[in-house]
Structures are given as C-alpha cells and as structure tokens.
Amino acid sequence: MELTQLMHATFTMRSFSKLSLGLKAAILLTGLAFLTFSCQSVSDLQPQDNDEIPESVLNILRTEFPESGQIRINAIEKDRVWNARLQQKADEFDVVVDRIMVLTNFRLAGDAVPAGYRRVFDSLFIGGGAYSDYRETLEFSTVTNSRDYSVKYKWNDKNYLLKWSVSGAIVGSRYDIYLYPDTDMEYLTPKLNDLPDNIQALINARQGQEFRWANVYIGSDQKKTYKIHLSAGTLELREDGSMIYSTLGKFDNNIGKEKFPATALTAIANDPFAVNFPRFFGEKFEDNGFIGYRALLWNDSQQYYLYFDNSGNVVKKYYMAYPEM
C-alpha cells in the first residue's frame, strides 16, 4: 500500500495547523483507521504460501464477487491455478480460478444435504453415511455443462468426496453421482496450460493428440492425479508423471477374471463395494512400458471401477451411479 493513497484530505497542511487539538486528533485517528482497513484488505488478497498472485486473477475475483470482503488464496498449481475462499454478503464461497477464468465456484452451505438428494443416495447401496461440508453451485456451469454439488461423506468408517451433477438439455433431467475415496477436491480445466510442466510435456509427446480437458483430483494427502482427455483416448497420471491408466497404447477391453493377477482378484473379493455388483468387465492395457488392468463391476444404474498395476496392486478406485430421476 502507498501512503499517497491517504493524502486526499479536505484540508491542506496549513489549514490543518489552524484546527483545534481535538479536531486534529479526530482526523488523525480517522486516517489511521482508514490506513489499517485498507492495508488489511490488500493483505487479505495475498497468497497464504507466498506465491505471487497475478493481477488478472485478482480482477477475475473482484468482477465475479464485487461485494466480497476477506479473500484467502492458495496456489494449487504454482503460477497457474489458485483456490480462493471468500465471503460475499451472507454467503461463503470456495473458488478455483486460473489466469483467465473461474473453473469452479461452490457456495458453502453447511452440513445439511437437502432431503431430496439424501433420498436418492439412500436408494443406492452407499446410503446411510454421514455428511459434512455440503457445497453447491448457484448457476448452470458452462465448463461442466451441469449444476454441480459436493459433500464430504463418511461411509463404513472411511472418508469420501461425494459429488453429483444435475445435467441434461433441461436441468434436472439426469443425476451423475461420483464417490471418490480419500479425496479432498476435484475440478475440471479445459486448458492445457493449467497443468504442471511435466504433465504438459507428457501430453505433448503424444504426437497427433489434441488435448480436450483434464479432471484434477487432490487427495487427502494433498497429492494430485490427472485424468486427461485427449482426442484419441484417456490418460491418467500421478503428479510425478507415473501412469495409472491409459487407452492410448495396446488395449484389450474385454478380458475375463482369469486373466487378472491373483492379487487383483483377492482385492476384488475382499472389497466391500464389489459384493454389490453381479457383472464383471475387464481391461488390460500397455503403454510406454507400463502394464495395468482395470475392472468394471456394474449393475443397471451403478458402476465400480478398480485399477491395478501389473502385480495386481490397487492403484485407484471410485464409484459412480446414474439413477433415473
């Protein structure tokens, strides 16, 4: 903050010298209060991890939330993507923003999930868990083509991120429900430049592939994974660039359980989700020397995905459902 911002006074210094002592004190105290408030407002826009915030990002937040007060910002991807928490009037928002646009914008709505949504979840086998930190978007998103919701969910003593979208030509025509274990946050970006350099390099090495979008997942351990959608398939990577899943190399999308490693079959047999699904669909993939497997367990409206490395160790899993409304 520059002190010149404080020099727009009604009185010149000569006029000031002629005032009474009490009035001088009142003016000085008012100026000091203004200085304290102004500096606090600027300070609140500073990142919590000492990463410099571009003015374009601050302008996006000021435009999107013109009546916001305190703003707290942390970098998700250094110099690329930020997470902001702010208050506007009676509402608190959690926002993911890059240098150009808001990527996600959730209003924090307490712990109580509306009864209509709870009835949907209770109709699925995942029902009966405990909810906290319920969030909702206030508008139909042009990024995700839906209205989106999320909540922290505890089920069978395990922590999950429960997300759902209401989408379709008419909002309200379909539910898409996702349950991610040990996950704090998920967002979507349509821009390659929002990803870290090492991930961009791996994508650019796929000659002839056009980047479409990426889902970014932040685990409870704060490590990130990336589900990258390219013109010819999907690539899933950890933040260090190691592979989780790929449809871009050698890909067999119809194998039976007998072709899975024994360790993977044991993991499936002992998984509390797996017992709820009568049907099995297997995949084996090989890409850049990495060999892995994916099992899809499913029924008419629910699916459960388990990913394995070549030794049969579980490297990822998640649940989804798409019940009729």
pLDDT of the residue at 195:
98
pLDDT of the residue at 10:
32
| Nearest residue to 181 (alpha-carbon basis) of 213, 199, 156, 164 | 156
pLDDT of the residue at 173:
62
Please give the model's pTM, rounded to 2 decimal places: 0.82
| Nearest residue to 152 (alpha-carbon basis) of 92, 84, 102, 220 | 220
pLDDT of the residue at 5:
30
pLDDT of the residue at 70:
79
Compute the mean pLDDT over every residue in the chain, rounded to the nearest whole number: 84
pLDDT range class, residue 4, cuts 50, 70, 90: very low
**In angstroms, what is the C-alpha Rg of the chain?**
25
| 257-288: pLDDT as tens digits | 999 999 999 999 999 999 899 899 999 999 99
Instruction: Provide the H-helix boundaries in the chain.
Output: 13-17, 21-44, 55-64, 115-122, 197-204, 262-269
pLDDT of the residue at 325:
66
**9-19 mean pLDDT:** 35
**202-230 mean pLDDT:** 96
Tokens 């429960």 appear where? 162
Q: Is the pLDDT of residue 174 over 60?
A: yes
Greater pLDDT, 35 or 107: 107
Contact status, residue 132 vs residue 147, Cβ threshold 8 Å: no
pLDDT of the residue at 212:
97
Which residue type, as a one-letter code, is found at position 264?
A
pLDDT range class, residue 51, cuts 50, 70, 90: low
**11-17 mean pLDDT:** 35
For the record, the structure tokens of 46 come out as: 């500073």
- The conformation of residue 47, written as its DSSP 8-state character, comes to B
| 91-135: pLDDT as tens digits | 999 999 999 999 999 999 999 999 999 999 999 999 999 999 999
